[in-house]
């Protein structure tokens, strides 16, 4: 079911999410994340991933769909090098606002998949940036909180 996406100003976006336990059934959450991302894509012609806190569910779940859906349950990030990149970040919870942030160029993500298997992916470039952005949602951190400075905000021109 398509869920409303929480927007900047919602206090729930600043809460740290709780881990998913082995006994929890999160199938409906995954379906809601899928439906909400697809709806956003259809309306905005953009959107690669969404985190559970963005629809008001304070669980450590990220749903990413680029070529195929990948569900990250209880992810943990590691950064193999200190090399950073500057990017203009956008977010479904900050529609129309771009924020210049620094992100690691590479990361390793350790997670459990929907079948309960432990996995590890190495990501770089735009996928590294994307997963760091979504992981921040699990930690109650928005791109606005990572702005490089007070001039690191912009709105697109129509």
Domain count, the chain: 1
- CATH, residue 29: 3.90.45.10
Q: Is residue 36 part of a domain?
A: yes
According to the annotation, is 110 in a ligand binding site? no
Q: Is residue 64 part of a domain?
A: yes
pLDDT at residue number 158: 63
- Give me the DSSP letters along 95-128: TT-EEEEEEESEEEEEEE-TTS-EEEEEEEHHHH
Tell me which residue range forms the domain holding 110.
11-154
Q: Is residue 6 part of a domain?
A: no
Q: Is residue 139 part of a domain?
A: yes
- CA-to-CA separations, 155 to 47, 51, 66, 91, 126, in angstroms, rounded: 17, 23, 25, 12, 21
**Residue 111 near residue 76, CB atoms below 8 Å:** yes
**Any idea which residues carry the catalytic annotation?**
134
Residues of the chain with pLDDT below 70 are 158
**Residue 99 near residue 136, CB atoms below 8 Å:** no
Q: Is residue 26 part of a domain?
A: yes
| CB half-sphere exposure, 23, CA atoms < 13 A | 0
pLDDT at residue number 23: 83
For the segment 122-158, what is each residue's pLDDT rounded down to a tens digit?
A: 999 999 999 999 999 999 999 999 999 999 999 987 6
DSSP-assigned beta bridge partners for residue 107: 123
Q: Which two tokens stand for residue 37?
A: 């991302």
Q: Is residue 55 part of a domain?
A: yes
Q: Is residue 5 part of a domain?
A: no
Q: Is residue 3 part of a domain?
A: no
pTM of the model: 0.95
């Amino acid at each position: 079911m398509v869920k409303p996406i929480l927007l900047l100003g919602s206090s729930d976006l600043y809460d740290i999410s709780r881990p998913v336990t082995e006994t929890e059934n999160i199938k409906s959450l995954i379906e809601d994340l899928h439906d909400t991302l697809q709806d956003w894509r259809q309306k905005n012609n953009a959107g690669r991933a969404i985190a559970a806190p963005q629809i008001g569910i304070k669980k450590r779940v990220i749903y990413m769909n680029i070529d195929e859906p990948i569900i990250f349950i209880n992810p943990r990030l590691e950064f193999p090098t200190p090399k950073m990149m500057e990017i203009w970040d956008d977010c479904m919870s900050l529609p129309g606002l771009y924020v210049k942030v620094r992100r690691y160029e590479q990361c390793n993500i350790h997670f459990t998949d929907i079948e309960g298997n432990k996995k590890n992916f190495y990501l770089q470039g735009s996928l590294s940036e994307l997963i760091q952005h979504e992981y921040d949602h699990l930690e109650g951190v928005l791109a606005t909180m990572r702005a490089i400075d007070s001039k690191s905000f912009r709105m697109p021109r129509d």
